[in-house]
Structure 1
């Protein structure tokens, strides 16, 4: 049988990644809109996971079947859930405290933390070039944050950095879980397990809202679930080094939503710091890709 042309695999991967970026950006805008309409953080977190759980379960049931969610690593999924929920809470807190563009820019520091954790936790080889990229990325973060200045609230910046570090921790966990588990299995367990603690948080924070607010809250979950599925599908069709660079287009979405919905545009320091952080992240992804290319022939070459 003749294999499909590379473009037949790569273009859908890129398209799905761009779709996931747009959907995640839309979800972030809905999060800020929900808060503006009176929703509390606990309510937003619950609806994010409840909508995702319903959507992911429906897709799996209609596709490969619910039998594919069976797992022998429930402990790993529970740990991933704990870190993931805390990471999501910090991410949403940053979104509520900062303008969309600034919150998105700080989130770009995730590959920087992933490199550090990969070296410390997994013992991955990290040469001086990537360590230089890590340092450059933190310079970009400092430019955006302006420590000691008043460019953005330090509380929001701190939440954003904590979210980036925890998200990087999730990446490390997913790489370990992914050795034995399907991506859709991991997504399902995270969505469902997280509803247990978030249901308690929801009951403690629930309050009456007009129909518009409930509609926005439901949109957070459904759009976020769709974004998760699109992101997972993109990784099934293309390598991480191919699709991840397209995540940086989220800054365009964040800028557009910030201007159209909230009348805010990124500050001067964000325009300066964002390219520095993006350059750092792209270089880290590229070096990882090159490292894997160099390691593969060495692994298969006979002694």
Structure 2
């Protein structure tokens, strides 16, 4: 997922400052919108809408909103690609992630899918070595192993809890991890407008044929509005994330991703009456602790590298 670019300059001293309350509120609201996106998708796929159609509607509205916000009729930079092959790969990974996630949501509780999805930082850390040359040390590898134990607690292979929907959720975590790595590689040269626009437009085009075949017209005004709002939820989350990142450093904002499990659990209970079982919550706690450690460790390594570069 890409943040929406902001025209204001990024502050470079945020690492040394306490996190402002406004940034905390924005970060919490960011992941509330992402939880609302999954909640709306689950409502629609359990109501009988094809997952591929819901994905297509989500990116169609996303593309329209991005075109309007970026004023695509006058922004030539939005259409420039420095690395076309990687942009295409990235544009395929994002809809695949969303499709796998929405397929999982047909049967799984929101708390289950988000618990598995929170393993993404660990998967990214593991894959960044062979794909980016950013090798993790023994401490981070230990944290990765602990995180995967947490995933096993949630999915419980060999029990009745394990199902094909669990596999869809794991696939969503893997494809999103690859998407994050490709995004990191592209961000060096590509402008953010191009990355946001093409990720949504590729998804819209790729998903159009099966969506039009398996899709159906909304039967109620509420369902029509919900389909249209999926893109609004996604773009709103991205907009708030970038605003939070301009008030506080990324290392301070990143841990708030784990607030999503609170939003998902609350929405799952309010909308669907779902209550996660004890093992799901235990596994989620293990995953969160592992993720916190990895983020903190990477922040320490980055800070050490900055100090060495400054000659201190």
- Compute the TM-score of the two structures, normalised by the length of structure 1: 0.91
Q: How many residues align?
A: 298
Structure that is richer in helix per residue: 1
Q: Does 1:118 align with 2:128?
A: yes
Q: Deviations over 1:174-220 (max 9, x none)?
A: 11111112333211111112211111121111224312322221122
1:253 equivalent in structure 2:
263
Q: Does 1:180 align with 2:214?
A: no
Which of 224, 242, 254 in structure 2 is aligned with 1:214?
224
Matched-pair contact (CA < 8 Å) for 1:51–1:225: no
Q: Deviations over 1:55-78 (max 9, x none)?
A: 12222129x962331332332211
Which residues of structure 1 form unaligned runs of 5+?
none
- In structure 2, what is the Cα distance between the partners aligned to 1:103 and 1:297? 39
Matched-pair contact (CA < 8 Å) for 2:45–2:102: no
- In structure 1, what is the Cα distance between the partners aligned to 2:92 and 2:268? 30
Matched-pair contact (CA < 8 Å) for 1:38–1:209: no
Secondary structure at the aligned position of 2:106 is classed as: helix
Which residues of structure 2 form unaligned runs of 5+?
1-10
Structure 1 residues 174, 4: closer, same or farther in 2, change over 3 A?
A: closer
2:151 equivalent in structure 1:
141
Deviation at 1:130?
A: 0.3
Which of 204, 207, 220 in structure 2 is aligned with 1:195?
204
- In structure 2, what is the Cα distance between the partners aligned to 1:13 and 1:191? 26
Matched-pair contact (CA < 8 Å) for 1:101–1:251: yes
Structure 1 residues 137, 218: closer, same or farther in 2, change over 3 A?
A: same
Q: Which moved more, 1:121-130 or 1:274-283?
A: 121-130
Deviation at 1:227?
A: 1.7
1:268 equivalent in structure 2:
278
Deviation at 1:274?
A: 0.9
Matched-pair contact (CA < 8 Å) for 2:45–2:105: no
- In structure 2, what is the Cα distance between the partners aligned to 1:236 and 1:158? 36
Matched-pair contact (CA < 8 Å) for 2:19–2:252: no
Mapping of residues 58-207 of structure 1, within 5 Å: 58-61=68-71, 66-69=75-78, 70-150=80-160, 152-207=161-216
2:309 equivalent in structure 1:
299
- In structure 1, what is the Cα distance between the partners aligned to 2:138 and 2:208? 46
Output the aligned Cα RMSD.
2.3
- Compute the TM-score of the two structures, normalised by the length of structure 2: 0.88
Secondary structure at the aligned position of 1:264 is classed as: coil
Deviation at 1:240?
A: 2.4
- In structure 1, what is the Cα distance between the partners aligned to 2:22 and 2:210? 38
Matched-pair contact (CA < 8 Å) for 2:111–2:276: yes
- In structure 2, what is the Cα distance between the partners aligned to 1:271 and 1:177? 35
Deviation at 1:283?
A: 0.7
